[in-house]
Amino acid sequence: MNAEQFLDRIRSDNDTALSRLGSSKALYADTGGEMDDETVLSAAADAEHHAAVTYQEWADTESDDAVADAFAETAAEERDHYERVAGELDDYAPGEAVPAIQQYLRDLDGTIERLGGFVGRTIAAEKSKEQFTGYFVGEADPQTAQLFRDVGGDLDPQLERAGELLEASCETDDDWERAAEAASGAIQTAYDAYTTSLESMGVNPKPVC
């Protein structure tokens, strides 16, 4: 298997979850149904902050220097994302509640598992960035919509980085399977959080809208 085949597999294996994470209901779930600019920006800022913390923890504990450097680079990108999004708010401090997907990632142990989780989180993040962008397009706020397009522009390089490292790290089919399990686990964790949030508000999570 190579990186391109791996990414195709993860997207295919999680097609239903990803399609729903890319629906307009996903943003409704992320904000607890509070669809106003401040709440949407706060949800986005929190996601970036906690991702940065996760990747920095990985960088600090990773034994493979190349992988540690990649995690550190990604942590810096996520911190930049947080600062740019939080800059749209007044004196914002990130929330303490750790998103479910970040809790899942922080429990991963091992280079291959973390690289797989990295892929899963990044693919899921593609969907959330699309929703944040779409929200501000709908609010006739092109400047903030562009901010999220710019932030989302780091996702392809992150996937490329992860793919190259997986190719260097995975020596057997079992290694690729471990990475795939971690990647799908991250996406499914995000989907489970989406489902739980909507159901708690009495909203059917299944139909895509």
Asked whether residue 18 is domain-assigned, the answer is no
Confidence of residue 209 (pLDDT cuts 50, 70, 90): very low
CATH of residue 78's domain is 1.20.1260.10
Confidence of residue 208 (pLDDT cuts 50, 70, 90): very low
Asked whether residue 76 is domain-assigned, the answer is yes
Asked whether residue 93 is domain-assigned, the answer is yes
Asked whether residue 161 is domain-assigned, the answer is yes
**Percent of the chain clearing pLDDT 90 (strictly above):** 88
Q: What is the pLDDT of residues 149-204, one digit of tens each?
A: 999 999 999 999 999 999 999 999 999 999 999 999 999 999 999 999 999 999 88
Nearest-5° angle of CA 75, CA 123, CA 90? Answer: 50
Nearest to 2 by CA among 209, 190, 176, 181: 176
Confidence of residue 54 (pLDDT cuts 50, 70, 90): very high
The structure tokens 């780091």 sit at: 154
Total structural domains within the chain: 1
Asked whether residue 60 is domain-assigned, the answer is yes
Domain interval for residue 62? 38-198
Asked whether residue 96 is domain-assigned, the answer is yes
Asked whether residue 42 is domain-assigned, the answer is yes
Asked whether residue 103 is domain-assigned, the answer is yes
- The pLDDT of 43-59, averaged and rounded, is 97
